[in-house]
């Protein structure tokens, strides 16, 4: 299964593609999408077109993207959310399933704890994918999103498959958690 991970950003959006065969993860490609110093609509257009091109080039089976957190600066958060929205539009236009993970979940899945520093994430991505060198920060973050989905996606899918039986017992699954 080929997984496309996206680390959204208005200036630089990272992407990473990995292949999952059983429990083995393999690196396929990674890189960054840089937007020009232009107005917001032009930047969003570049993100939409470039993510669409990545999908056409590598034909992933599914995708995962980092969720936006509320920043100190609300304007920055809104702008980042719009960049994320452009990337999601490209993914759903290609009929790809899109999973979403918080930065905490991604760091936990890759480095073992949610407070990992960028360098720790880069080191672990390099180790987990047996890369010859350290990936750039945006590409490493995108690969980490894909790795997180490779580890978490299967568990969430299994839990989702149990949902109908759980519903008969008066239980529900929300956000990967069992609630009564």
Domains of the chain listed by start with CATH number:
2-179 (3.30.420.10)
pTM of the full predicted structure?
Answer: 0.84
3 state SS of 144: helix
Distance CA 120, CA 48 (A): 30
Q: Which residues are catalytic?
A: 7, 66, 138
Annotated binding site for Mg(2+): 7, 66, 138
Q: Which two tokens stand for residue 44?
A: 């969003």
- The pLDDT profile of the chain, 180 residues, written as one tens digit per residue, is 999 999 999 999 999 999 999 889 999 999 999 999 999 999 999 999 999 999 999 999 999 999 987 677 888 888 899 999 999 999 999 999 999 999 999 999 998 888 889 899 999 999 999 999 999 999 999 999 999 999 986 655 555 555 566 666 766 656 556 566
Distance CA 164, CA 174 (A): 13
Phi, psi (degrees; rounded to nearest 5) at 117: -80, 160
**Which class for 115: exposed (0-12), middle (13-18), buried (19 or more C-beta within 10 A)?**
exposed
């Amino acid at each position: 299964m080929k997984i496309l991970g996206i680390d959204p950003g208005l200036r630089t959006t990272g992407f990473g593609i990995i292949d999952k065969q059983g429990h083995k993860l393999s690196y396929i490609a990674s890189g960054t999408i840089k937007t020009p110093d232009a107005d917001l609509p032009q930047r969003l257009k570049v993100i939409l077109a470039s993510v669409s091109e990545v999908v056409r080039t590598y034909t992933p089976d599914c995708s995962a993207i980092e969720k936006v957190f509320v920043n100190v600066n609300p304007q920055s958060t809104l702008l980042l959310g719009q960049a994320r929205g452009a990337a999601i539009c490209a993914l759903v236009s290609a009929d790809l399933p899109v999973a979403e993970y918080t930065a905490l979940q991604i760091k936990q899945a890759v480095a073992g704890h949610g407070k990992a520093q960028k360098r720790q994430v880069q080191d672990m991505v390099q180790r987990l994918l047996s890369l010859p060198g350290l990936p750039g920060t945006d590409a490493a973050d995108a690969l980490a999103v894909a790795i997180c989905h490779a580890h978490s996606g299967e568990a969430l899918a299994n839990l989702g498959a149990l949902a109908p039986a759980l519903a008969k017992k008066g239980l529900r699954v929300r956000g990967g958690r069992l609630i009564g």
